[in-house]
Amino acid sequence: MNVKPNTGPRIAGLILSASSAIICAVMLMPIIALIFESLSSFFIPAAEIDDTFSDLADSVLSQYILNSLTIVAGTLLFACLFAIAPAWWCARYEFVGRRYLQWMMVFPLAIPAYISAYIYTDALDYAGPIQSSLRQVFSWQSPHDYWFIDIRSRWGASLMLGLALFPYIFLLLRNTFEQGSQSLSQAAQLMGASPRKIFWTIHLPLARPALAIGCTLVAMESLADYGTVQLFAISTLTTAIYDSWLVYGSLASAAKISCLTLLFVISLVALEKNSRKKQQHFDSRGGKPNDKIKTSNAKTSFIWLFCGLVFCLGFLIPLITLIGYCADYWLENINGDILRHSQSTFVLATTAAFIATLLAILFNSQQRFMPGPKNQTKLSLSSLGYAIPGTVLAIGILIPLGQLDIWINHFIQWLGFEKVGLIFSGTSFALILAFVIRFSAISNGSIQAAYKQMPTNLDAASTTLKASKFKTFSKIHLPIMRPALITAFLLVFIECVKELPASLLLRPFDFETLATYVYQFASDEQLEHAASGALLIIIVSLLPILLLSRTQRMR
């Protein structure tokens, strides 16, 4: 029921409403800046147009687009291959070790694709252990004597990304398969359907929306990937943006490619929205969840073989290799740099996570107290950043902040003082802004879910017991959503620690986050010397998975 507010401290409400509108505008600024920058070349005299973009468009841009799309398609293929069958097995069968396996399949999420990419390149290299031992066994002399897979290719990149991203699909599908109401499959069974038919006609169609959401996530992440493709020297839209700015110094061309990338993202999101609309109809809650079927020994072995292989490739091998690097090069790995960068990453991620959580509380509580299209729009807009690839977002932030710095310096000079330098675009401010814009969707989601579970009657009860809105918020809402607040903070924190492309573009001079530090070493073919940093990232990334597994087990 629509419960309208009537009075209350109006001024406080107005201030909150205005500030949330301003914050929303700031969060939208990168997209607006990108569009503006891309279009502005039409209004500039021909002589001044920098034609990096037209050069690109004439020559290699189509190849870049093709590369990006191939990698997205390839990643989806691999991710579905690794995710769908294990999700079904873990949801519907009972076998030895299922409880462990269903969480082991999520662990690969903690390994950034570029780290796997580095490790497998190293291992499958001409000089690497595998080819060397093959040459020894078969006494081959040169690369001409045999054919060997080339991991540094589009399909190799897809495989790496697929291994790192498939758990998204796995998690969503497993939940859907598990929640599928038992009465539905029993009804089908009573009408004479075989288990195979029930899977294809009941369970898979019901899981389609979840599959679509998972695939969209994977597609967006692989489209946004920078680390892996750069390591493999594959030119895609994201590397083109990066190069346009850092190599050619053309912000306009970077903005144009960014807009192009955004077009792909928008189509992906549109596809997902469409599938989510259908989920409403498919939602079959209330039914008793499915009982798990006991499997035979042969089937159990097969399941473990398949899932174990995926787990080893996606998690265990990279992890052990990193530990090996650490042991071999422990002097290089334990040094002041790592400590310093961990510290600065911690401060940065904590700040960004704190702000993102605070904003999520602001936007969501506003929608709670004053439900309506205006506040809903603010909420949705503040979550938009998640869809923007890091590289694109970084360019979108550089444009307005750079301009702002120029104005400020002009102004200061005009006042007769020394220039202050790039106080916005050249400091951690830009990085924190990027993190907050990009990851607010995560904190929003967490708090939105908490609010959804909280009956609105609690607010009404509080009001009829003479409580002001502020009291309702501080005494009822905040305590009840404390777990959600912690989750929101932690998830954003972890994403910030892992974030690479935007950090690479926006980090201040002589400043590294753990991710950029590790990546620098990887791209210099020296990951061995930064393995401890990589391990730290992995350990931090494992946190939410362990948290998730604990809460789910409790249920």
Partner 1 sequence: MSIENYSQTKAVALELFNVQLAIDDQTILQALSFDLAEGEILCLLGPSGCGKTTALKTIAGLAMPQQGQINLFGDSVFSDNKINLPAEQRAIGFIFQDYALFPHMTVGQNIAYGLSSLAKQEKQQRIKESLDLVELPDLEHRYPHELSGGQQQRIAVARALAPKPKLLLMDEPFSNIDGQVKRRMMADLRRLLKEHNISCIFVTHAKEEAFAFADKTAVMINGHIEQLDIPAKVFNQPNTVAVAEFMESGNLATLRHSQQVLDKIPHQWPRDSDNTGYWLFKPQYLTLSHSLQNTGIELIDTTYIGRGYQHDIAIRLNNSNNAPTIIWKAETESPLDFAIGDNIAIEYIQQPHWLQE
The residues binding partner 1 (CB under 8 A) are 1-4, 6-8, 455, 457-458, 460-468, 471, 475-476, 479-480
Residue 263 and residue 239: Cα distance in Å, rounded? 17
DSSP string, 35-72: HHHHHHGGGS-GGG--THHHHHHHTTHHHHHHHHHHHH
Tokens found for residue 500: 């690479």
DSSP 3-state of 426: coil
Please state the closest distance from residue 449 (CB atom) to partner 1, in A.
16
In 21-179 the beta strands, taken as DSSP E runs, fall at 93-94
CA separation for the pair 101, 99 (Å, rounded):
6
Nearer to partner 1, 45 or 455 (CB): 455
Q: How far is the CB of 460 from partner 1 (least distance, A)?
A: 5
Beta strands (DSSP E) in 315-443 are none
DSSP category for residue 223:
H
Amino acid type, 141: Q
CA 39 to chain centre: 29
Helix (H/G/I), strand (E/B), else coil: 289: strand
Task: State the Cα–Cα distance between residues 289 and 391, nearest whole angstrom.
Answer: 42
Burial classification of residue 317, based on how many CB atoms lie within 10 Å of its CB (0-12 exposed, 13-18 middle, 19 or more buried): middle
For 469, half-sphere exposure in the C-beta direction (CA atoms, 13 angstrom radius) is: 16
Q: How far is the CB of 391 from partner 1 (least distance, A)?
A: 43
Q: Of 174 and 469, which has the nearer Cβ to partner 1?
A: 469
Nearest approach in angstroms of CB 468 to partner 1 is: 6
Structure tokens at 337: 């740099």
> Is there a contact between 551 and 490 (Cβ–Cβ < 8 Å)?
no
Nearest-CA neighbor of 314 among 541, 548, 513? 541
DSSP 313: I
Nearer to partner 1 by Cβ, of 335 and 376: the residue is 376
Distance CA 72, CA 157 (A): 10
Name every residue whose Cβ is closer than 8 Å to that of residue 413 and which is 6 or more positions away in sequence. 419
The distance of closest approach from Cβ of residue 411 to partner 1 in the complex, given in angstroms and rounded to an integer, is 46
1 or 233: whose CB is closer to partner 1?
Answer: 1
In the complex with partner 1, which residue's Cβ is closer, 450 or 534? Answer: 450
**Residue 476 C-beta: closest distance to partner 1, Å:** 6
Nearest residue (CB) to partner 1, 49 versus 449 = 449
CB closer to partner 1 out of 271 and 480: 480
CB of 372 to partner 1, least distance (A): 11
Residue with tokens 């950034």: 112
For 111-128, give one letter per residue: b (16+ CB within 10 A) or e. bbbbbbbbbbbbebbeee
Q: What distances in angstroms separate CA 270 from CA 136, 137, 182, one per listed residue?
A: 53, 53, 32
Provide the minimum distance between the beta carbon of 480 and partner 1 in the complex, in angstroms, as a whole number: 5
Token code pair at residue 239:
């590397």
Taking the least distance from each CB to partner 1, the nearer of 284 and 463 is 463
Least separation in angstroms between CB 461 and partner 1: 4
Following CA atoms 392, 509, 526, 116 in sequence, which dihedral angle do they give, to the nearest 10 degrees?
A: -30
How far apart are alpha carbons 211 and 468 in whole angstroms?
Answer: 44
Nearest to partner 1 of 330, 470 (CB atom): 470
Backbone phi, psi, residue 251, to 5°: -70, -35
SS3 content of the chain, % helix, strand, coil (to 5): 80, 0, 20
Closer to partner 1 by Cβ: residue 144 or 466: 466
Q: Which is nearer to partner 1, 236 or 367 (CB)?
A: 367
Q: Which of 231, 313, 246, 327 is nearest to 525 (CA)?
A: 231
Nearer to partner 1 by C-beta: 2 or 142? 2
| Closest to partner 1 by CB, 8 or 402 | 8
| Closest CB to partner 1 among residues 25, 458 | 458
Distance of closest approach, residue 553 Cβ to partner 1, in angstroms: 20
Neighbours of 336 (CB within 10 A): 7
Backbone phi, psi, residue 139, to 5°: 45, 50
Least spacing, CB of residue 5 vs partner 1, in Å: 8
